[in-house]
């Protein structure tokens, strides 16, 4: 259907009083982009390929203070990313993360206007990816999308477990609008006759940022008989009328408690299932079919540059990584702690956390990092203290695995004799240094990196009695070595690497 000349723009002088900030469910006031208006005139002209899953890269920017505090925790971020993919499963759109970018900037972390958000996005957006910023305060809103900066900002308290704010804002990023388009900032009143048109301003939410200009547009109020659904409100006919523009509670059937009346006098309740409504999270659970088609068409038509990888690693990670060392309250020199674990299948990355308490409170966290290896050399830790550690495995397209079991170790003062001066080695030793004839000894090596070594035992005449090549992977290496056929006496144990050679005494009695 062709819309008559119903969308008129006014250009007025900027006035700050109009933009008093309130705590908003969404800071993306209305804007129906030129693209969406054209699309809705003839959706069948656009490719949407509903049967093909689209894989889209996302750069996640975690924004903290100047001193690097207050970041949204990475494990909760990946849980939220998992929820985002669940919310988009029916759209046949899935996201994989391209990178996690930590930004230390207090002004951006807690920003009061979208103009500061614009500056943040212009300075940090990664091209050919979607860009999401997780901040402490997204201009007084749960989140917003900025078409002219092409980024989404989310407040940390709005994207936890069970929240759909991220899906809502990505919906905006893919051009779709609130089903109550035009009512933003208005308190609907049942006792006042419902108008046939409403006005909205989108000064800061247009495709191109024009400062000092107030831009107002007109929207037809959607009718219950759907006679104007192709151009009224959000322009989708499978999102029924909705005039409520503040956070609202729903009945068990997900319909609004608030009763509304359309311009023809027909009573109705709003549908709270749609992610683009302002219903509480618990009411929401879907995008409509027409919204899905529009979002997919938008990606194909307007963002073909983000379709560069349609086969990202996304295999489901079923098993946790297994901590290898140190475990079960093992004693470890406090300045030589190297953690190692057996990999989890399909994991390409791990969140590694070391904490001073088993409950992992944020203020007792001593290591919280993302690693791609299966070992990690910790910084110098507090001595004589029990530490706890755990791992969360993930890959770019699958971030839904939880943490591994928690393991523990105790920091101690290292025996000076076992410290190594060889670069890449922490310490090594043989236990016991006084061994029994026909018994065995244990070789222990703590390596900071992967390296090739050779362990040998010589007698005092210089004859080699044992040679053992060892590929160290980083972490603690242990091997039991038989001393069968060794005579009583003094021997020299030698560890050789490219970087040097060190000796230990071995006495057999």
| Closer residue to Zn ion in complex, CB, 28/404 | 28
CB of 89 to Zn ion, least distance (A): 21
**Does the protein bind Zn ion through residue 435 (CB under 5 A)?**
no
* Sign of the CA dihedral with 33 first, then 36, 40, and 41 last: positive
* Structure token pair of residue 427: 């310490």
**Does the protein bind Zn ion through residue 281 (CB under 5 A)?**
no
Distance CA 343, CA 472 (A): 16
CB of 168 to Zn ion, least distance (A): 5
Contact string (CB under 5 A) for Zn ion, positions 66-105, x = contact: ----------------------------------------
Phi, psi of 330 (to 5 degrees): -55, 145
Q: Which stretch binds Zn ion (CB under 5 A): 20-28, 299-307, 351-359, 449-457?
A: 20-28
| Closer residue to Zn ion in complex, CB, 25/424 | 25
| Closer residue to Zn ion in complex, CB, 26/233 | 26
CB of 110 to Zn ion, least distance (A): 21
Q: Tell me the number of residues near Zn ion by CB under 5 A.
A: 2
| Closer residue to Zn ion in complex, CB, 109/245 | 245
**Does the protein bind Zn ion through residue 170 (CB under 5 A)?**
no
CB of 161 to Zn ion, least distance (A): 20
Query: What's the distance, Cα to Cα, between the start and end of the chain in Å?
Result: 98
CB of 142 to Zn ion, least distance (A): 9
> Are 283 and 273 in contact, with CB atoms under 8 Å apart?
yes
> Are 128 and 149 in contact, with CB atoms under 8 Å apart?
no
The residues that bridge with 55 in the sheet, in sequence order, are 94
178 closest CA partner among 236, 92, 250: 236
Place of tokens 């391209």: 98
CB of 249 to Zn ion, least distance (A): 18
Distance CA 205, CA 151 (A): 11
CB neighbour list of residue 190: distance below 8 Å, 6 or more residues apart: 258, 259, 260, 261
**Does the protein bind Zn ion through residue 451 (CB under 5 A)?**
no
**Does the protein bind Zn ion through residue 291 (CB under 5 A)?**
no
Place of tokens 């609907």: 188
Phi, psi of 481 (to 5 degrees): -120, 130
| Closer residue to Zn ion in complex, CB, 26/297 | 26
Residue nearest to Zn ion (CB): 26
Q: Which helix (H) or strand (E) holds 469?
A: strand 464-482
| Closer residue to Zn ion in complex, CB, 142/366 | 142
| Closer residue to Zn ion in complex, CB, 158/260 | 158
C-beta atoms surrounding 505 within 10 Å: 12
CB of 382 to Zn ion, least distance (A): 46
| Closer residue to Zn ion in complex, CB, 28/255 | 28
CB of 182 to Zn ion, least distance (A): 13
Contact string (CB under 5 A) for Zn ion, positions 21-60, x = contact: -----x-x--------------------------------
| Closer residue to Zn ion in complex, CB, 239/395 | 239
Distance CA 288, CA 273 (A): 9
Place of tokens 């994207």: 159
For Zn ion, the binding residues in 462-481 under the rule CB under 5 A are none
Distance CA 149, CA 239 (A): 28
Which residues of this chain interact with Zn ion, rule CB under 5 A?
26, 28
């Amino acid at each position: 259907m062709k819309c008559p000349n119903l969308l008129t723009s006014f250009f007025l002088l900027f006035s700050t009083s109009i933009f008093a900030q309130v705590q908003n469910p969404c800071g993306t006031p209305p804007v129906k982009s030129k693209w969406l208006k054209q699309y809705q005139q003839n959706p069948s002209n656009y490719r949407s390929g509903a049967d093909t899953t689209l894989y889209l890269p996302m750069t996640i920017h975690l924004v903290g203070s100047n001193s690097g505090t207050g970041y949204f925790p990475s494990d909760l971020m990946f849980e939220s990313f998992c929820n985002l993919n669940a919310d988009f499963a029916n759209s046949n759109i899935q996201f994989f993360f391209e990178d996690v970018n930590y930004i230390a900037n207090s002004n951006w972390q807690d920003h009061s206007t979208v103009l500061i958000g614009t500056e943040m996005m212009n300075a940090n957006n990664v091209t050919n990816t979607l860009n999401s910023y997780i901040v402490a305060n997204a201009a007084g809103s749960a989140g917003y999308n900025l078409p002219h900066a092409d980024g989404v900002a989310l407040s940390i308290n709005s994207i936890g477990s069970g929240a759909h704010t991220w899906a809502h804002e990505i919906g905006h990023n893919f051009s779709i609008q609130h089903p109550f388009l035009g009512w933003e900032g208005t308190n609907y009143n049942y006792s006042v006759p419902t108008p046939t048109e409403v006005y909205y301003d989108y000064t800061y939410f247009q495709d191109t940022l024009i400062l000092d200009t107030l831009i107002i547009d007109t929207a037809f109020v959607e009718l219950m008989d759907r006679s104007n659904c192709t151009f009224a409100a959000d322009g989708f006919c499978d999102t029924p009328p909705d005039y409520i523009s503040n956070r609202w509670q729903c009945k068990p059937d997900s319909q609004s408690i608030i009763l509304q009346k359309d311009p023809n006098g027909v009573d109705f309740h709003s549908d709270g299932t749609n992610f683009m409504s302002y219903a509480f999270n618990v009411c929401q659970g879907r995008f409509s079919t027409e919204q899905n088609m529009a979002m997919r068409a938008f990606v194909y038509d307007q963002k073909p540059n983000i379709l560069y990888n349609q086969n990202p690693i996304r295999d489901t990670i079923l098993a946790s990584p297994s901590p290898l060392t140190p475990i079960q309250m093992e004693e470890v020199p406090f300045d030589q702690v190297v953690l190692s674990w057996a990999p989890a299948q399909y994991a390409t990355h791990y969140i590694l956390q070391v904490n001073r308490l088993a409950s992992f409170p944020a203020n007792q966290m001593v290591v919280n990092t993302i690693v791609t290896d299966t070992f990690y050399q910790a910084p110098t830790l507090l001595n004589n203290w029990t530490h706890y550690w755990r791992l969360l495995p993930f890959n770019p397209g699958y971030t839904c695995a939880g943490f591994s079991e928690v393991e523990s170790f105790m920091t101690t003062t290292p025996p000076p004799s076992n410290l190594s001066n060889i670069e890449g080695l922490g310490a090594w030793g043989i236990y016991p240094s006084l061994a029994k004839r026909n018994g065995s000894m244990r070789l222990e090596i703590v390596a900071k990196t992967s390296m090739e070594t050779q362990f040998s035992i010589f007698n005092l005449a210089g004859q080699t009695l044992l040679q053992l090549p060892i590929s160290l992977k980083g972490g603690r290496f242990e091997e039991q070595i038989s001393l069968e056929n060794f005579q009583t006496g003094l021997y020299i144990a030698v560890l050789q690497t490219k970087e040097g050679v060190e000796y230990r005494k071995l006495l057999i009695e």
